[in-house]
Structure 1
Amino acid sequence: MIRDKRKPILLGAGVVLLLAAVALMAITESGLADFRAATARHGGQVLDLGSTERAQAEQYGYMVRVVGAPKVVEAPYDTQFNQRFDTPVLVRHVEMFQWREVHVGDQLHYEMDWVDRPLDSSRFAQPSGHANPGSFPIEGKQFDAGQVRVNELALSPPLLHALPGSERVTPDMKLLPSNLAASFSLYQDHLVTSATPANPRLGDLRVSWEIVPVQTLTVFGRLDGDRLVPANDAADGKGYDIQVGDRALVDVFPDVPLPPDGVWARRLLVLLLAAAGAWLLMKGRRA
């Protein structure tokens, strides 16, 4: 009678352990599959290098996460104005004081303002008395640093141009070439050709510079040797991302679920549960 009473208990316990093993395996593998499918949309599995871990040769081709402030190896240089700034990207803006045609409802009026492109006054409804000078003698331009690294990995041009933020900087008048120093004066962080900067005249030029600030960034990109490049095969059509600060993967890609914790520990537990369940079933059948 004792053996008969043990049999259903052993069989029941064995079935419970086997079902627990199957459930744990299903939850773990399903979560891992969802995580891999989501990361594949952004270029593939992401290896977290953080701010200190160095890339290894066997990691080439993987998506990686790196954190740190960009290190400018060779600063951008505006040769025409002899201006150099320690920044990943330097942008020169050029504006001219011109006539603008302004429509407000049915009303039409003209005013002069700083505009960053030539305005063709011949197309105005009333061109007479509102003629603009035409093309700019100096053009706006962007200057990239020779090389920028984050956690010792060089940023490829697409990632370099995606760096966030901008700051106005003041040009150094001492560095201006003599011909430009004779034409421009410094006024509110701008170089202007106006004789009276507070009251510009038609055709006056205004030149200013913006930089991308050096700040802590989180960069996701594909590891290509010692460079970070976009994952061109990513389903999201981008294959990289850059955000200010130390950001986790889930912050940058909210559509990517968290991967299951301790995958291999879970798999080992599944094996132990399955083995224990099978042993109990065999013991119960013998009973």
Structure 2
Amino acid sequence: MANHFTRVTSESWFSRIGNSFAGIGIGFLLVIASIAGLAWNENRAVETARSLTEGAGAVIVLDDQGAAIGPDGRRMDTGGLLVHATGDLSGPVPSDTQLGGPVVPENTTRLVRIVEMYQWKEESRSETRKKLGGGTETVTHYSYSREWSADPINSARFAETAGHQNPSMPVRGHTFEVDRTLVVGERSLAIPASRVGGIGAERPLPITDEQAEAIADTLGTYLPVRNAAGTAYFGYDPSRPRIGDLRISYTVTTSDTASVVAADGGSRMVPWSSSNGREIFLVRDGVVSAPAMFEQEQKSNAQFTWILRLMGIGAMFVGFLMMLNIFGVIGDVIPFVGSLTRIAVGFAAFALTLILAPLTIGIAWFAVRPLLGGAIIVVGFVLATGLWFVSRKRTTGRDSAANAGETQA
């Protein structure tokens, strides 16, 4: 059984030209999608920020009895209003409903079952050489190693399947969460599992010998089971794992106290809708004030906006590269010319992205904040002008050098 495999493939220049035409269409769609995504992201960021600002001004803080006292000294009816409450978490806790698993603490907000199987993994490394005439030859080196993986690895897709077959996983990892109750004085407010699950501190939750045996009985595997450092190990020797061996472990997240900003639904907390239709339902571990929660959410919104913004800009750049790639393929008839053409293509794609991305973001912001949107558009225009001048200067310099050479001759 060889754990290394090499495959050589060739592609003609005409085939590469055909693929480049297909790439033009895909690249165009990618650029259009990135424009739409960038515009949507900017609108989402503004609307979310406005919603949070509105919520910060409208939130009512409940006291330790779950009540709010109005200016007249009387207890307010907060039904349907946005409130901030801090209290102890109680109620049922999650459990592994499929395998049983360990007994969790009473303050558990999330239980995670981690299942790993010892499997074959394929890695590849390719080297593409250009040939005179525009064709290419690709040499791909495949290597195979064994490792623990929480996801099934499909060995049927390996380049060399002989001796590298992975069995199917009899069970997968899973996350368990349930609704919890926030106790504030005499009030009990239900919080959905999707909101409260996972707040708090995470730590490993070891299993006992009896629990490992119970998991084995439920799983029904032919492999022997043992408790290896708090993990249910299915196999003959943990120090020398074989393909198909399993290990099942758990982590638990716990929290005693939580702070919530949401609408007072009487017996439960529900999302609160701002005037622009955005929903607010914030949950934090421990005692956190309402202003601090809104400030954290504003920062999270800004960070998420930048992540999506960079992803959109990256997608736009890739789209332009795909659209312009055909020029590099045409130049590959002479490999050296093709390499130089690709440098120019990369610069052109970068320049187009540098122009179009700020323009898209600026137009999206112009509808909601004209001054900021206009400033972004101006920045894009300045960048475009700067790139044009740099390109013009280089062209002029090359022409002057060429004329000087002719004069000396």
TM-score bracket for the superposition, by shorter chain length: 0.5 to 0.7
Identity %: 24
Selected match of 1:180 from 216, 224, 227: 216
Alignment of 1:59-208 (within 5 A): 59-71=78-90, 73-79=91-97, 80-86=99-105, 87-103=108-124, 108-134=142-168, 136-145=169-178, 147-151=180-184, 152-161=188-197, 163-176=199-212, 178=214, 180=216, 183-208=224-249
Q: Which runs of 5+ in 1 are unaligned?
A: 1-36, 258-287
* TM-fit CA distance, 1:231: 2.5
- Structure-2 change in CA distance of 1:114 and 1:53 (3 Å): same
- Structure-2 change in CA distance of 1:179 and 1:209 (3 Å): closer
Separation in structure 2 between the aligned mates of residue 255 and residue 205 of structure 1, nearest angstrom: 40
Separation in structure 2 between the aligned mates of residue 255 and residue 191 of structure 1, nearest angstrom: 39
* TM-fit CA distance, 1:251: 2.0
| Residues 262 and 280, structure 2, Cα contact 8 Å, conserved in 1 | yes
- Structure-2 change in CA distance of 1:88 and 1:68 (3 Å): same
Alignment of 1:205-224 (within 5 A): 205-224=246-265
In the alignment of these two chains, the number of paired residues is 218
2:66 aligned residue:
54
Alignment of 1:227-246 (within 5 A): 227-232=268-273, 235=276, 237-246=278-287
1:67 corresponds to which letter in structure 2?
T
2:19 aligned residue:
none
| Residues 164 and 242, structure 1, Cα contact 8 Å, conserved in 2 | no
* TM-fit CA distance, 1:237: 4.5
Q: Which runs of 5+ in 2 are unaligned?
A: 1-49, 69-75, 128-140, 218-222, 299-409
Separation in structure 1 between the aligned mates of residue 259 and residue 251 of structure 2, nearest angstrom: 22
- Structure-2 change in CA distance of 1:241 and 1:178 (3 Å): closer
TM-score by length of 2: 0.47
- Structure-2 change in CA distance of 1:40 and 1:250 (3 Å): closer
Alignment of 1:1-12 (within 5 A): none
- Structure-2 change in CA distance of 1:255 and 1:77 (3 Å): closer
TM-score by length of 1: 0.64
**Alignment deviations for residues 2-39 of structure 1 (CA, whole Å, 9 cap, x no partner):** xxxxxxxxxxxxxxxxxxxxxxxxxxxxxxxxxxx765
Separation in structure 2 between the aligned mates of residue 255 and residue 174 of structure 1, nearest angstrom: 44
1:167 corresponds to which letter in structure 2?
R
- Structure-2 change in CA distance of 1:232 and 1:95 (3 Å): farther
| Residues 217 and 245, structure 1, Cα contact 8 Å, conserved in 2 | yes
Separation in structure 2 between the aligned mates of residue 146 and residue 200 of structure 1, nearest angstrom: 39
**Alignment deviations for residues 76-109 of structure 1 (CA, whole Å, 9 cap, x no partner):** 2224235331212212121111111224675542
Q: Secondary structure at the match of 1:149?
A: strand
1:59 corresponds to which letter in structure 2?
T
Separation in structure 1 between the aligned mates of residue 119 and residue 103 of structure 2, nearest angstrom: 29
* TM-fit CA distance, 1:200: 1.4
* TM-fit CA distance, 1:120: 0.7
Higher helix proportion, which one?
Answer: 2
| Residues 198 and 253, structure 2, Cα contact 8 Å, conserved in 1 | no
Separation in structure 2 between the aligned mates of residue 247 and residue 179 of structure 1, nearest angstrom: 39
